Structure 1
Amino acid sequence: MSRRDLLGLSTVALAGAVPLTVYPGSGTALAAESPSLVHGHGHKPRVTPPEDLMREHGVLKSILLVYREGIRRIQRGEQVPAQALHAAARVIRDFIEHHHEQLEEKYIFPRLREAGRLRHTITVLCLQHKRGREVTARILAATHHSAASAHQRNALVSDLAAFIRMYEPHEAREDTVVFPLFRKVTPARQFARLGEIFEAEEHRRFGHRGFTTVVHRVSDIEKALHIHDLSQFTPRKSSTYPRHGRSSAR
């Protein structure tokens, strides 16, 4: 199956029935169904599994920004933004760890192992999921009440920094290597069926608005910390350096 074929799934290719296929370790049967698996009712395009997981990584990136703001405030001697950090860690626990990572471990990683691909990478990613849950549990405990002592504040900063340091390369490796390869080794009909499974699971856990509900939760946290304005992250124009390679000295 070429990249072009995968990107151009047609209604003809998806029509008809095929035998059930079970991913090892998942216990979930995947079957080809009607074109509605890709287009949905009224031919509304569905989100593909990699696109679904990558937009969820956008939520993770937003939480990493919240964690950075928490570190900045603590290191400046300001009061620990315990409420905002606690809310952010709950998003990590509920949406990333209990939903996003479970989809990866149940459907993405077994498929790659079955294909004999990225076995070492998958082992590392699974270990990082485990370590991430441990760190999240400590952050939740530390922010249940505002950290008072210097030791508590330093420990919280250490956990926030460790989480950021691990998950930035973690999600980058998944977006650039794992998910594209998963798409390459997954038959088109099973690939389409997974899109429906992911969507159904998202709605079951987070309601009919699913992803949008989580995005709004993160937006509320950003507003509480005053980091919701995108323009504030734009570097200011500087006149420090001379233009056209000429010295500014007169």
Structure 2
Amino acid sequence: MDVIGPSKRRRLLLTGLVAAVAAPAVLTRPSFAQPKGATPSEKAPEKPGEEVTPPEDLMREHGVLDRVLMLYEAGMRMYGANEDFDPSLMTQSAGIVRDFIHDYHEKSEEQHVFPRFKAAGKMTDLVGTLERQHEAGRKVTETVLRLAPSGRSNADDRRQLVAAMQSFITMYRPHAAREDTELFPKLKDVVSAHEYDAMAEDFEKKEHELFGADGFEKMTARVAALEQQMGIFDLNQFTPR
């Protein structure tokens, strides 16, 4: 019996303990809990639970961002080939960037992450650049949302739209990569253990306020639906032949 908690702070209860509560006479482990033929002494040590840490939380949200960048790239290819497709797919993609990335993910960084590095006097140049890129990104997203409805029918709007999406991709790929590899791994060095735990709680609380329970899962489902409509959902198509 698997018990999964809220969207981000998933607490994986020990299967043996759960089974003991549900059916005291039968204590079993799922097949993945120990290797075949393992003796009791060879079983993996049991852990009371695991949580999604603030850096892990932010990094997986970058995964949502990168999937939207792929939607942008697919749209740019279609515009370049003059293919007929629903322009609302680009509007919806940019809407996810606005709602989930700018208004939630980046706000979390600006309110909880960046100030800690500034207070510690560490990586301040990088933080300043990241903040400026957030502001620039919001302006580009406004442009995409404004031009997407007419991008299929108006050549000049299409040119500006493609340029805006390309500039967004060009900035955010290195932006997210630098955060993932340089900033986030150092977060634990500039906060106390209590602040670190509280930050995770703050992230989850805000996500629930904005998107309801399982907000991350709902957002990834929205992205997947757009990928299917844009014809880029099947991962096999990206494998070199």
TM-score under structure 2 length normalisation: 0.79
Whether the 8 Å CA contact 1:81–1:146 is kept in 2: the answer is no
- CA drift at 1:204: 1.2
Among candidates 109, 121, 143, match of residue 138 of structure 1: 143
Task: Tell which deviates more after alignment, 199-208 or 165-174.
Answer: 199-208
Whether the 8 Å CA contact 1:49–1:191 is kept in 2: the answer is yes
Which residue in the other structure is 2:181 paired with? 176
Distance 2:164 2:12 in 1: 45
TM-score under structure 1 length normalisation: 0.76
User: Taking every aligned residue pair, what percent have the same amino acid on both sides?
Assistant: 40
Which residue in the other structure is 1:64 paired with? 69
Structure 1 letter corresponding to 2:53: T
Which residue in the other structure is 2:51 paired with? 46
- CA drift at 1:185: 1.8
Which residue in the other structure is 1:106 paired with? 111
- CA drift at 1:79: 3.0
Among candidates 228, 231, 234, match of residue 236 of structure 2: 231
Q: What is the correspondence of 1:87-102 to structure 2 with a 5 Å cutoff?
A: 87-102=92-107
Structure 1 letter corresponding to 2:58: L
Structure 1 letter corresponding to 2:149: H
Which residue in the other structure is 1:74 paired with? 79
Query: Helix, strand or coil: the match of 1:65?
Result: helix
Which residue in the other structure is 1:248 paired with? none
Among candidates 144, 151, 155, match of residue 150 of structure 1: 155
Structure 2 letter corresponding to 1:53: L
Structure 2 letter corresponding to 1:203: H
Distance 2:219 2:10 in 1: 24
Among candidates 193, 201, 213, match of residue 196 of structure 1: 201
Q: Structure 1: where are the runs of 5+ without partners?
A: 1-37, 237-250
Q: Deviations over 1:95-138 (max 9, x none)?
A: 00000000000010000001101111111111100010000001
Task: Tell which deviates more after alignment, 179-188 or 134-143.
Answer: 179-188
Inter-CA distance 44–135: structure 2 relative to 1 (3 Å threshold): same
Whether the 8 Å CA contact 1:82–1:144 is kept in 2: the answer is yes
In the TM superposition, structure 1's runs of 4+ consecutive aligned residues that sit over 4 Å from their partners are 38-44
Among candidates 108, 116, 120, match of residue 125 of structure 2: 120
Distance 1:82 1:45 in 2: 42
Task: Tell which deviates more after alignment, 179-188 or 123-132.
Answer: 179-188
- State how many pairs are aligned: 199
Distance 1:111 1:146 in 2: 41
Higher relative contact order (CA 8 A, sep 6+): 1
Whether the 8 Å CA contact 1:111–1:186 is kept in 2: the answer is yes
Q: Deviations over 1:199-219 (max 9, x none)?
A: 111111111111001000101
Q: C-alpha root-mean-square deviation of aligned residues, in Å?
A: 1.7
Q: Structure 2: where are the runs of 5+ without partners?
A: 1-8, 14-47
Q: Is 1:205 equivalent to 2:210 in the alignment?
A: yes
Structure 2 letter corresponding to 1:190: E
Q: Deviations over 1:170-195 (max 9, x none)?
A: 00000000101112221112111111
Q: Deviations over 1:215-238 (max 9, x none)?
A: 0010111011111001110010xx
Whether the 8 Å CA contact 1:46–1:195 is kept in 2: the answer is no
Structure 1 letter corresponding to 2:239: T
